Structure 1
């Protein structure tokens, strides 16, 4: 099976059908059954790294796959009684903004499901000051910036991509557990999974970017995926329950995308964590197609033309 994957992927790379492919890791059950590493230019949260020869120990930007890790961390903090339940009012969790106290109707769950109904636009490139996430990361107070956005629709009805929602969750975790988000991640999730190396970019205020700042190796991202497959924690079931429909056939749970038989984390540039419980399968793809409309193509080709055919065979 690994040889089938190796030959199939080599042909895809040779013919240019997976440009800027940096890494692939596939696990089946407890076994690492395939991995691939490429070479090419890369950036770390918009900072150029030059040409990188990727390998098993090379950290890579996860971009918005970070959000799915934060979804897991929220559950761990909730299990310890450190953060409010998703049904709790959101603005009450930020009493330092008394001028916003009159806003009601929003819950923590609306942040978890990106259904806040607040004005937010990440359609501009992530190098542009027109992008709401970039404005948030350069703001003197990220939480105020998000919470004071105008309301444009009824909460809970429409999914609107919002890194600000993830930032609020990161803030709730950090203040609840009493340590920075990255420190809680290290002790509560990474170290128990055997993950020892990571980086987490910070915004202008010095706070870890819960929406997009995490860097891990593909192997360690796969460890997180396997944890999702194997854990019997009640939060995992809640997290992977569809709470809102994005489009036909695609739902969203608590910071995770959901299909009929899979769950996933997606990140700018083609970063993917794909978990398929029925097959015991985890696929991780890292790529350098940042801000490009075809960024998802490499992961789709890897999954549909390399991994799944080999398993079926």
Structure 2
């Protein structure tokens, strides 16, 4: 088993780090010492924001996923809920490729996102603006930036201390991308997910939230599955697997029923999400055959 996984790892030099575990028992771990200690996990950031929304719900900073976002963000459309942002079905009429142009010319991202036209509400459309608004909502509801909220309720309880997270010109933590974190820290997060949110019998991530985001997907017509409130969900051998994905092949995969976790980080200029998904699927086949 280990030799087969090693062979997959060594086949592509653009894979930086690879971790595989069953029931949090390490099966394979290889780290590229030449790559940066802090990894830009790109759109995996959205999945971390989703975990923070679950924590905010548990602690009743946020009362419901159905709460209209204008409760927290005055001037927002009154028919968009927190759930709509989590499923990227808000209807804000922008594609991710146009996001850079919007923020490059903006000194108030939230204001300019809320001023976007609306089209196609209720239909999945991949766009980071929804997750930046979620960051603003966490900040409004808790009085903490998302980076500080994460430090208090997610990172510090897991002894994760080495983190960098970008902010917008208003000081709002970027919700869609921009989180840099170590490979060891990604392993700690995966271990908590494998343990259904528990760390040493302390509930760090609400177990009911894991159930929510793995069973409430919205259809995407994309190869990596439905979008389940910040996590991509799919079936493998008729059972749910869920993934955090970032451009350039960054990935956390959890296969709950077998308590398997796989983490991939890679050179974003030489690797992509399809190659990363193929790699993790091959590893699942090796482990579960």
TM range (shorter): 0.7 to 0.9
Aligned ranges 1:101-180 → 2 under 5 Å = 103-123=77-97, 131-133=98-100, 135-136=102-103, 139-153=106-120, 155-156=121-122, 158-180=123-145
Counterpart of 1:228 in structure 2 is 193
Tell me how far apart the structure 1 counterparts of residues 167 and 105 of structure 2 sit (CA, whole Å): 10
Q: How far 1:63 sits from its partner (Å)?
A: 0.4
C-alpha contact 2:42 2:178 (8 A) present in aligned 1:
yes
Distance 2:275 2:193 in 1: 23
Q: How does 1:284-295 map to 2 (within 5 A)?
A: 284-290=263-269, 295=272
* SS of residue in 2 equivalent to 1:262: strand
Alignment of 1:15-26 (within 5 A): 19-26=13-20
Cα deviation, 1:253-293, whole Å, max 9, x if unaligned, reads 11111102211111112111111112211111111224x7x
3-state SS of 2:139 partner: helix
Q: Do the aligned partners of 1:137 and 1:204 also contact (CA within 8 Å) in 2?
A: no
Q: Contact 1:136–1:164 at 8 Å: present in 2 too? A: no
For the residue of structure 1 that corresponds to 2:20, the secondary structure is: strand
- The answer on 1:212 being equivalent to 2:180 is no
CA distance in 2, matches of 1:241, 1:194: 29
Which secondary structure state, in structure 2, belongs to the residue aligned with residue 244 of structure 1?
Answer: coil
In the TM superposition, residue 135 of structure 1 has moved relative to its aligned partner by 2.1
Q: Taking structure 1 as reference, are residues 233 and 133 closer, same or farther at Cα in structure 2, changes over 3 Å only?
A: farther
Which 5+ residue runs of structure 2 have no aligned equivalent? 198-205
Hey, what does 2:231 align to over in structure 1?
Answer: 256
Q: Is residue 2:21 matched to residue 1:54?
A: no
User: How far has the Cα of 1:204 moved from its partner?
Assistant: 3.3
The alpha carbon displacement at 1:3 in A equals 3.4
**TM-score (norm: length of structure 2):** 0.87
Following the alignment from structure 1 to structure 2, what is the Cα–Cα distance between the partners of residues 240 and 137? 34
TM-score, normalising length: structure 1: 0.81
Q: Deviation per CA, 1:65-104: give whole Å up to 9, x if none.
A: 0000000001101111112411111223212x3xx5xx33
Structure 1 segments of 4+ aligned residues over 6 angstroms from their partners: none
The alignment covers a number of residue pairs equal to: 275
| Corresponding residue of 2:203 | none
Within 2, Cα distance between the matches of 1:33 and 1:75?
A: 30
Over 3 Å counting, the alpha-carbon distance change for 1:122 and 1:284 in structure 2 is: same
> Could you give the per-residue CA deviations for residues 233-270 of structure 1, whole angstroms, max 9, x where no partner exists?
21221122233100277211111111022111111121
The DSSP-based 3-state class of the residue aligned with 2:18 is: strand
> Gaps (5+ residues) in structure 1?
14-18, 40-52, 124-130
Distance 1:137 1:170, change over 3 A: farther
Kindly indicate whether the alpha-carbon contact (under 8 Å) linking 2:19 and 2:26 is maintained by their aligned counterparts in 1: yes
**Matched residue SS, 1:246:** coil
Please report how far the alpha carbon of residue 137 of structure 1 lies from its aligned counterpart in structure 2 after TM superposition.
6.2
